[in-house]
Structure 1
Amino acid sequence: MITETGRIVAIEPQGLWVETIQRSTCGSCAAQKGCGQSLMARLMGHTSYLWVLLEGRDPDKYQLGDEIQIGVPETVVVKGSLFVYMVPLLGMLAGAGLGQSALQSDGWSALGAVAGLVLGGLIVRWRAHQTRHDRRLQPVLLDDTDAVTLVTP
């Protein structure tokens, strides 16, 4: 489980909006001074907002500004990264191959590569839209010690 500390910025009946600043990996990496991620985080103070499901927990227990621990399973990160990087890359290679084999021209090969890359990006975007509410892919609360009980509206 990959963990991150976040600050609650909004509380809703079914979940929390949590602001995270990605610094957990930057503190332990040996390439801190030469890393673009570290530089961008320092310059822009990159924050992201995540929706964390309460899964039956009482929303009144949480306050704005509270620091909480959230986690994402490693398999979600690995599979998501592979999908996001490989689908456009494979689309680009397939498009370049089709352009080259069909018309025997480098220009058409380059155009096919761009078209395959764009198509791969659209497939990734479509898949992200389809799975945006999948509970298995959502961050979870880690610092809660109470048992989870379902609250019916």
Structure 2
Amino acid sequence: MIEERGRVVALEAEGAWVEPLQKSTCSGCSVRSGCGQGLMDRLGVRERRHRVFASSDLVLDVGDQVVIGLPEATLLKAAASVYLFPLLVLFASAFLASYLSFGEPAVIFCGLGGFALAWFSVWRRNSRLGHDPQLRPVVLRTTSVPLERAL
């Protein structure tokens, strides 16, 4: 299980919207002046945080710090479908066009067309599977209680 700490920012019946806590080591890094992450921090990009919907059957409040988890197999399948599948289709369609003795512009066009078709099929599949509760992250546990609830 891949785990990440976060803070609950909104609640729904089936779970919670969690904003992952981002860690930065820019202050201790020796190459911070030439690093893209350091530049993004200075430009204020870090303030634009992402939110993740995580299923939960725990009693949570907004502001709770939680640990969310996602099975490794789910992450690996998603990475393979998003990154590997379109790349393989790009190479296969370009190879097929080359094997059929098409000209170089046609080979390039076929490769890009295969990539676009594969990307579109991945996008459609992911939009259908995006609401599958078994593919969502889950809230595993809370890590702290906000000060307001402790009093």
Counterpart of 1:138?
136
Q: Give the TM-score, by structure 1 length.
A: 0.74
The equivalences for 1:17-56 within 5 A come to 17-23=17-23, 38-39=37-38, 42=41, 43=43, 44-45=45-46, 47-55=49-57
Partner SS state of residue 142, structure 1: strand
Give the partner amino acid of 2:75: V
Say whether residues 1:67 and 2:65 are aligned partners: yes
1:88 Cα deviation (Å)? 0.6
Q: Which 4+ stretches in 1 moved above 6 angstroms?
A: none
Give the partner amino acid of 2:91: L
Distance 1:40 1:14, change over 3 A: farther
> 1:74-102, CA deviations, whole angstroms, 9 ceiling, x for partnerless residues?
11111211121111101111221232233
CA distance in 1, matches of 2:30, 2:110: 37
> 1:11-30, CA deviations, whole angstroms, 9 ceiling, x for partnerless residues?
1122111111443xx65xx9
Give the partner amino acid of 1:143: R
- Structure 2 unaligned segments of length 5 or more: list them: 143-151
Distance 1:4 1:132, change over 3 A: same
> 1:121-153, CA deviations, whole angstroms, 9 ceiling, x for partnerless residues?
111111211211222211111115xxxxxxxxx
Aligned residues: 136
CA distance in 1, matches of 2:30, 2:76: 22
Would you say the 8 A contact 1:72–1:138 is kept in 2?
yes
CA distance in 1, matches of 2:120, 2:35: 29
Distance 1:31 1:134, change over 3 A: farther
- Structure 1 unaligned segments of length 5 or more: list them: 145-153
Would you say the 8 A contact 1:8–1:16 is kept in 2?
yes
Aligned pair partner of 2:107 in 101, 106, 109: 109
Counterpart of 1:13?
13
Q: Give the TM-score, by structure 2 length.
A: 0.75
Counterpart of 1:90?
88
Identity of aligned residues (%): 31
CA distance in 1, matches of 2:7, 2:64: 6
